[in-house]
Amino acid sequence: MEDKTKKILLISGISLVSVFAIFFVYKLIKRKMSVVYVSGEFVGKNCDEFHAFQGTNGRVIGGMNDKVTIELNRLHKEGINPQVTEVDVVMDSATMKVKWKVKIEPSKDGKAWVGFTSRGSGGDKSAFTRAISKSTKQDFDSVKKKIIDVLNEPKLEMKAIKDLQYNFSKDGKVLGKCPTRQIFYVYTKPSKFPNN
C-alpha cells in the first residue's frame, strides 16, 4: 500500500512539473513569436527632406533608423533574434507628409538582424538610377562597405528588404512631384549583437 501511494505521488509530481514545463515553453514560444510594429511620420520642406527617413545633411528629419534600432536592440536583449520583415510607407507630395511603419518579427534564419538603414534619392528623373548608383556610392556593395567601416564589423551581413518607388513607373518614368526611390536594408552586428 505504501509503495502504491509513493508511485501515485511520484506520478502526480511528474505530471505537475510537466504541466508547468509545457506552460513555460508555451509562454516562451508565444513571447518569441510576437510581432512588433514601430511607426512614425514626418514632413519634408523639399524633395530631399521628403525622403529623409532618418535625416539629411547632418540633420535628423524622420528619425526612422533610430526608432527602429531601439526596438531591435530591446528585442535582442530579451533573447530574441529580430528582423524587420516589412516596411510600409505612405507618401503625399501635396502635403510633403510621410508616414511609415515597420514590422519586426523573430528572424527565420536565426540571425540577429539588429541593424536597419535606408539609402535613396529623390527630386527628379535621375533619382531612379541615383538611388542605386555606384558612382554616388548608393549601390548595395558601397552601402555595406560603409556600414562595415563605420561599425567596425567585418563579418556584418546585409540584405535589402524593400525597394520603395514613389511617383515613378516601374521603368523609371516620373509620375508626379518629388519622385523618390529608397532602398531599405537590414544588417547584422555579430561582434556586438551575437545570435541568441
Looking at the fold, whether 103 and 22 belong to one and the same domain comes out as no
Q: pTM for the complete prediction?
A: 0.83
Looking at the fold, whether 97 and 17 belong to one and the same domain comes out as no
Looking at the fold, whether 25 and 44 belong to one and the same domain comes out as no
CA separation for the pair 147, 163 (Å, rounded): 19
pLDDT band of residue 185 (cuts 50, 70, 90) is very high
Q: Domain of 22?
A: 1-33
pLDDT band of residue 20 (cuts 50, 70, 90) is low
The total number of residues shown for the chain amounts to 196
Q: Where are the alpha helices (DSSP H) in the chain?
A: 2-32, 47-50, 64-77, 127-130, 140-151
Nearest C-alpha neighbor of 125 from the set 76, 83, 181: 181
Strand partners, 182: 120, 164
Give the pLDDT score at 7.
Answer: 66
